[in-house]
Amino acid sequence: MSVKDLLETVIGLVNEHNAWRLTRAINMIASENVMSPLALKAYVSDFMFRYAEGKPFKRYYQGTKYIDELEVLTEKVIGSLIGSSMVELRPTSGTLANAAVFRVLAEPGDAAVIAPVQAGAHVSHTRFGTLGALSIRQVDMPYDAENMNVDVDGAVKLIREVRPKFAVLGGSVYLFPHPVKEIAEAVHEVGGKLVYDAAHVFGLICGKAWPNPLERGADVMTASTHKTFPGPQGGLIAFRDEQLYKAVGKTVFPWFVSNHHLHRIPATLITALEMKEYGEEYAHQIVRNSRRLAEELSARGFKVLGERLGYTRSHQVVVNVRELGGGAWAAKTLEEADIIVNKNLLPMDPPEAVKDPSGIRIGTQEVTRLGMKEGEMEVIADFLYRLLIKREEPQKVREEVHAFRKGYMEVKYSLKEDRLITVLDLLK
């Protein structure tokens, strides 16, 4: 292929993706979201070409005077949302945030107690991910299947026996808050620290729709900035302990991050300001939408996890579709109708079922940001019923999905400012 042909292919694929995901599809991947137009303008700036190794006003390069100011301001605004004056923005993902914290808290061979996979642990918490890469020994807390959570009494007993350097709560698939206070007290009793991975629920915490782990005893909170917190992809860490804050800062750079992708900082700041203005309204609407979606799916015959407990208190809804055909089939069928979810292991699944697990995970944070409320959750539940239970042809339902999606093209809970000069304006 010629350069011209390849260029047309690239541009065509990018345009097709944008049109699909931004104008036709109903996106319900629980780890994704959309930025506001203003944050997106700030994201596409000259900062994306530049370096700023080190801490603000103590860089190893020149040319950083504006990013220094922006980074400090972003830390202050985010800190005001979560009640911490110690915020570290340089990790470029939640996984790297975890890595920097884990490396400071334990040496190779030391033990870490984690929430089990059934209670939502992320792969970075395990021997298959970051914990394993750092040669830290994984010990799973017991699981309470009835309450879909950590078994508190069993976990406290285990912590006293193992005496871990740290424990980890939070994760990627969990419907209900973990027992932060109880686990923090137990791990502090043996001289350890509690890490809370808030990647998925950080926006809910900022919006006061989810308990703040720092207020309940967690020593450090890691997070992502692009899930329920609807900013650019990136990570952050917040602390209660100044000594730990300083130690982790010296580990983020130069061990895990060199340049920290500067263009995401002003976009993260704008998102933080949007959360300061609209965060409570947005976060509580996410939770209301999740619960209504779960109720409507259950009413249509789906096996929705957590019914006895009210289905969910987060942005996530988890459905057992094993009897309908399995998670892989369900996710693929929904994608054919332009409804995007992911297949997911359920608590009863063995680890080897990862390629075709029993469940699907559904997130409401992106559709909520596009303005959908409880009534729209009924429509989405009906789409899933027609596709997965009634087995209607995806091609038939897809046209209705497109027509429905066209009513939700504007990002809500966002600030508007037309005076921002972008790099594209300067290059004209």
> How many residues are present in the chain?
428
Classify burial at 193, counting beta carbons within 10 Å of its beta carbon; exposed 0-12, middle 13-18, buried 19 or more: buried
Q: Which pTM does this prediction carry?
A: 0.96
The CATH number of the structural domain formed by 279-428 is: 3.90.1150.10
Residue 383 near residue 339, CB atoms below 8 Å? yes
Closest CA to 234 of 92, 130, 335, 132: 92
Closest CA to 238 of 252, 265, 253, 219: 219
Measured in degrees and rounded to the nearest 5, phi and psi for residue 16 equal -65, -45
Instruction: Tell me the three state secondary structure of residue 219.
Output: coil
Measured in degrees and rounded to the nearest 5, phi and psi for residue 18 equal -60, -45
The two tokens of residue 261 are 């992708």
Assign domain 51-261 to a CATH class: alpha beta
Residue 187 near residue 210, CB atoms below 8 Å? no
pLDDT by 10s per residue, the chain, length 428: 899 999 999 999 999 999 999 999 999 999 999 999 999 999 999 999 999 999 999 999 999 999 999 999 999 999 999 999 999 999 999 999 999 999 999 999 999 999 998 888 999 999 999 999 999 999 999 999 999 999 999 999 999 999 999 999 999 999 999 999 999 999 999 999 999 999 999 999 999 999 999 999 999 999 999 999 999 999 999 999 999 999 999 999 999 999 999 999 999 999 999 999 999 999 999 999 999 999 999 999 999 999 999 999 999 999 999 999 999 999 999 999 999 999 999 999 988 898 999 999 999 999 999 999 999 999 999 999 999 999 999 999 999 999 999 999 999 999 998 778 777 677 66
- The pLDDT score that the predictor gives to residue 48 is 95
Domain boundaries, the chain: 51-261, 279-428
- The separation between CA 113 and the C-alpha centre of its own chain, rounded to angstroms, equals 22
